[in-house]
């Protein structure tokens, strides 16, 4: 389902970036560890961020993950 959702979003826009915690060969995918502050090149670079199933699954304070994603 996650891949279907990703494909649907990418079909709606040509400016979509996907992130994961592992390297991927999937186009438009980068590595981003949500427990760390975002790289300065990512700050203020997105209109919105959709987080699929990470906040409730990660063993890290949820408020800090949310702030990192918000930034």
State both tokens at 51. Answer: 């987080």
The pLDDT assigned to 59 comes to 84
Report the half-sphere exposure of 70 (CA within 13 A, side-chain side): 6
What is the rounded CA–CA span in Å between residue 17 and residue 30? 7
The pLDDT assigned to 44 comes to 86
Q: Do 18 and 11 form a contact (C-beta atoms < 8 A)?
A: no
What average pLDDT does the segment 48-69 reach? Answer: 77
Could you tell me the pTM of the whole model? 0.48
pLDDT in tens, 1-43: 567 777 777 788 777 777 766 777 877 777 778 888 888 988 8
Strands (E), the chain: 18-20, 29-31
Lowest mean pLDDT among 13-17, 25-29, 48-52, 57-61: 48-52
Give me the domain span that covers residue 38. 2-70
Give the total number of structural domains in the chain.
1
């Amino acid at each position: 389902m996650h891949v279907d959702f990703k494909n649907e979003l990418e079909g709606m826009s040509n400016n979509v970036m996907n992130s994961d915690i592992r390297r991927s060969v999937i186009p438009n995918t980068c590595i981003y560890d949500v427990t760390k502050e975002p790289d300065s090149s990512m700050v203020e670079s997105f209109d919105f961020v959709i987080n699929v199933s990470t906040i409730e699954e990660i063993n890290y304070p949820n408020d800090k993950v949310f702030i990192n994603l918000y930034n």
